[in-house]
Amino acid sequence: MTDKAQASLLERYRRLAEISRNLASTVDLNILLDRITEAAAHVSGSEAASILLYDENQGQLYFESATNLDEPLMRGLIVPVEGSIAGWIVTNGKPVIIDDTQSDPRHFSQVGEATNVTTNSLLGVPLIAKDKVIGALEAINKINGAFTQDDQEILMDLGAQAAVAIENARLFQQSDLIAEMVHELRTPLASLRTASHLLLRKDVSQDQLAKVVNIIDNETTRLINMTTSFLDLARLESGRIPFNSELFDPTGLLQECIGMMKNKAAEKNLRLNLYIPNELPKIKADQDKIKQVVLNLISNAVNYNKPSGTITVSGHRQQNELVISVNDTGPGIRQADMVHLFDKFYRSQATEASVQGTGLGLAICKKIVEAHDGYIDVQSEIGIGTTFSVHLPIKDS
Ligand SMILES: Nc1ncnc2c1ncn2[C@@H]1O[C@H](COP(=O)(O)OP(=O)(O)OP(=O)(O)O)[C@@H](O)[C@H]1O
Ligand SMILES: [Mg+2]
């Protein structure tokens, strides 16, 4: 190695040490991923870099972050484990250097097509945390010459630190969720304590007693609902609960949901209709989870409706999607609330006081639908009503 090359390598290791310190202190996963890709491109002397993380639950790789590329277009892009270089890295747990990606049979060309970036040379390393491969870090297009063993070593070093930092950030996210959950438990618990203090007093009238018991009943129901939502969300976020995918007829499922919510709607004097204009295609999905989504949406349509209003649940096919919509004649949702609707614990101020809830229903719906490769959208008009639509892909097998 020439003196110059040696100096440059030393300089790169010095940079790597600096980056490592920086990574260890970043707990925001998105910022962390961006920093890792930026560092990867830098220390390996390449045009761009990207991170793909492996989702055990789905058995798929997802693009999470990339430099020089159109982020919104890339993020969440699925890359097959079989038939991609990243998949090879993750399956084998080994690094790879490829001088001409276009002629490598493992190359997954759709990413290039989607992003207009041509990958020529590539250096990829596995991201390994606690002996488990959690993804792949790829540097793309060496600026001068070809990728070397030195490049590979330095990227392996960065990958090892990055993997630990990613795991830590994920754990931190989880502990954040726990903190928020515990915080939410405080209100009903405080009500229960007030109620029990009242019960301990000797001078409580029969009338007051009935009220206090009513409060206890309400608050315990609320606590039970909350803990169920917490558990659902925590399980979905951890990705550890496998989905039970089966082929089923969505019409039956929608009828069942209507049956389950009939009384709740009638109690509030609301009409609940089902509208299925044409025969629906069967879909492959986790029936219980999809039922949970539809029930959550109907429950919102009941809670946030006007007196004597209507709820219409409908199902139809739209190209290769099954669309399930829940429409209500409620107050509608303001634009400012729209962007936060699916955030954990978000409740709009407009309804917070009049309706009880935890603000997790829609966050859970979104997680479930996205885990099925689908999406939810919402249309709303103030004073007229709101429609939530769940789009699920129709798969052949
Ligand atoms: N159909 C609707 N019409 C008007 N506002 C709605 C509707 N659905 C949801 N919202 C608003 O979005 C917020 C979030 O809904 P989400 O279902 O996530 O939580 P929640 O209903 O408050 O509580 P829970 O966790 O018990 O479902 C609600 O608090 C409400 O302000
Ligand atoms: Mg809700």
Distance (Å, whole) CA 30 – CA 170:
10
Residues of the chain with pLDDT under 50: none
| 326 assigned to some structural domain | yes
Distance (Å, whole) CA 322 – CA 374:
10
Write the CATH number for 351. Answer: 3.30.565.10
Q: Whose CA is nearest to atom 3 of ligand 1?
A: 304
- Environment class of residue 85 by beta-carbon count within 10 Å: exposed (0-12), middle (13-18) or buried (19+)? buried
Q: Whose CA is nearest to atom 9 of ligand 1?
A: 300
| 96 assigned to some structural domain | yes
Alpha helices, DSSP H only, in the chain?
Answer: 3-24, 29-44, 71-74, 85-92, 110-115, 149-200, 206-238, 250-267, 287-303, 335-338, 349-352, 361-371
Structural domains of the chain, count: 2
Structure tokens of 347? 């409740």
Q: Say yes or no: 249 and 166 in one domain.
A: no
Q: What is the pLDDT of residue 55?
A: 86
Q: Whose CA is nearest to atom 1 of ligand 1?
A: 301
Q: Say yes or no: 144 and 272 in one domain.
A: no
Domain that holds residue 118: 3-170
Q: For residue 340, which ligand has an atom nearest its CA? A: 1
Q: Whose CA is nearest to atom 20 of ligand 1?
A: 359
- Environment class of residue 242 by beta-carbon count within 10 Å: exposed (0-12), middle (13-18) or buried (19+)? exposed
Write the CATH number for 32. Answer: 3.30.450.40
pTM: 0.68
User: What is the whole-number distance in angstroms between the Cα of residue 142 and the centre of ligand 1?
Assistant: 50
Structure tokens of 280? 């629906």
Q: For residue 357, which ligand has an atom nearest its CA? A: 1
Q: What is the pLDDT of residue 111?
A: 64
Q: Say yes or no: 28 and 139 in one domain.
A: yes
Q: For residue 345, which ligand has an atom nearest its CA? A: 1
Residue carrying structure tokens 């009513």 = 214
Among candidate residues 170, 186, 214, the one where a domain is terminated: 170
Residue ranges lining ligand 1, Cβ < 6 Å? 229, 300-301, 304, 328, 330, 333, 341, 346-348, 351, 357-363, 386
Distance (Å, whole) CA 280 – CA 23:
49
Distance (Å, whole) CA 45 – CA 114:
24
| 79 assigned to some structural domain | yes
Work out which ligand 1 atom sits closest to the CA atom of 330.
3
User: What is the whole-number distance in angstroms between the Cα of residue 355 and the centre of ligand 1?
Assistant: 9
Q: What's the longest Cα–Cα distance across the chain?
A: 93
Among candidate residues 170, 193, 219, the one where a domain is terminated: 170
User: What is the whole-number distance in angstroms between the Cα of residue 257 and the centre of ligand 1?
Assistant: 18
Closest CA to 290 of 217, 214, 369, 393: 369
Structure tokens of 205? 């009238």
Q: Say yes or no: 156 and 250 in one domain.
A: no
Q: What is the pLDDT of residue 267?
A: 96
The answer to whether 97 touches 147, Cβ cutoff 8 Å, is yes
Structure tokens of 341? 């609707």
| 188 assigned to some structural domain | no
**Candidate of 224, 228, 292, 304 to mutate for ligand 1, largest count of ligand atoms within 8 Å of Cβ:** 304
Cβ neighbours of residue 34 closer than 8 Å, sequence gap 6 or more? 65, 67
Among candidate residues 128, 145, 170, the one where a domain is terminated: 170
| 236 assigned to some structural domain | no
The answer to whether 361 touches 348, Cβ cutoff 8 Å, is no
Q: Whose CA is nearest to atom 31 of ligand 1?
A: 348
Work out which ligand 1 atom sits closest to the CA atom of 342.
18
**Candidate of 299, 362, 380, 384 to mutate for ligand 1, largest count of ligand atoms within 8 Å of Cβ:** 362
Question: Beta strand 271-275 with 310-318: parallel, antiparallel or unpaired?
Answer: parallel
Work out which ligand 1 atom sits closest to the CA atom of 350.
31
Distance (Å, whole) CA 114 – CA 386:
34
Q: What is the pLDDT of residue 115?
A: 62
